[in-house]
Amino acid sequence: MIVNSESALYAATESDIIVGVKVGRNATTESDIIVGVMDTEIWPEAESFKDEGFGPPPKKWKGVCEGGKNFTCNNVAPWIFTVAASTTDCRIIDSTVLANVKKLVGHSTNTFTLNGTNFPLIYGKDASRTNCSQMLASICWEGCMDPDLVKGKIVVCEKNTGIPEAYRSGAVGKIFVNL
C-alpha cells in the first residue's frame, strides 16, 4: 500500500543492505556504472513516470533490456508480472479497513480472498525480537520478527524488504507502507 511518496538518497555502498542481498564485492562487475536507480516501491502515479517535457524515445532503443561489457540483463520479471496479472484473479487496487473504521486504499498483488475474515494487524516494531534496532524492526528485517507475535496476523512494514521474513515468521499477509 502506498501512503506517501518519499525520495531518499542512499550511498551506493549500502544498496546491497537496503534490498537485503548478501553478496561479495566485485570491482570488475561494478566498474563503469554511471547511474544506478533502485526503487523498491514503484507505482504508476509517481512523479518519475510523468512524460511531460520529454520527446519520443531514441530510435536505438528497441524496448528490450540490453546488457553491457561488465554486466548482464534480462527481461524476465516484467513478462512474468504481465502474464501473472492477466491470468490470476488478483486485485491490483485494494483496501484495508482499520479498527477505527478508517479505510486505506493502496496497490496490491493479493491473489487470495479474505472471505470477510478480519485478520489483526501488527506493526513491525511491535513484532520485533529484542535483539533488533527500532529501524530494522520497522522494515521487518531478516531475523527481527518474533513468530509468537506475528503468527496469523498481517504485518505492516515500512519497506518491502521484509516480505520473506514476515511469511517465515507465520504472517498471513504483509502490508508495506512508504512513509
Q: What is the full DSSP assignment across the chain?
A: -----------GGGHHHHTT------HHHHTT-------SS--TTSGGG--TT--PPPTT--SS----SS-----HHHHHHHHHHHHS--EEEEEEE-TTS-EEEEEEEE-S--TT--PPEEEGGGGB-TTS-HHHHHTT-TT-B-HHHHTTSEEEESSGGGHHHHHHTT-SEEEE---
HSE (CB half, 13 Å, CA atoms) of 39? Answer: 12
Say yes or no to pLDDT of 79 above 50: no
Residue 5 is predicted with a pLDDT of: 46
Between 149 and 176, where is the model more confident? 149
Cβ–Cβ contacts within 10 Å for residue 111, how many? 10
pLDDT band with cut points at 50, 70 and 90 for residue 4: very low
Residue 149 is predicted with a pLDDT of: 94
Q: How many domains would you assign to the chain?
A: 1
Question: pLDDT tens across 84-101, in order?
Answer: 445 555 555 566 777 777
Residue 48 is predicted with a pLDDT of: 66
Residue 96 bridge partners (DSSP): 104
Between 10 and 68, where is the model more confident? 68
CA distance 120 to 153: 5
Say yes or no to pLDDT of 76 above 60: no
Residue 69 is predicted with a pLDDT of: 67
**Which domain covers residue 7, as residue numbers?**
1-179
Residue 117 is predicted with a pLDDT of: 78
Question: pLDDT tens across 32-49, in order?
Answer: 444 444 445 556 666 766
Question: pLDDT tens across 107-163, in order?
Answer: 666 556 667 777 888 888 899 988 888 888 888 888 899 999 999 988 888 876 767
pLDDT band with cut points at 50, 70 and 90 for residue 56: confident
CA distance 120 to 143: 21
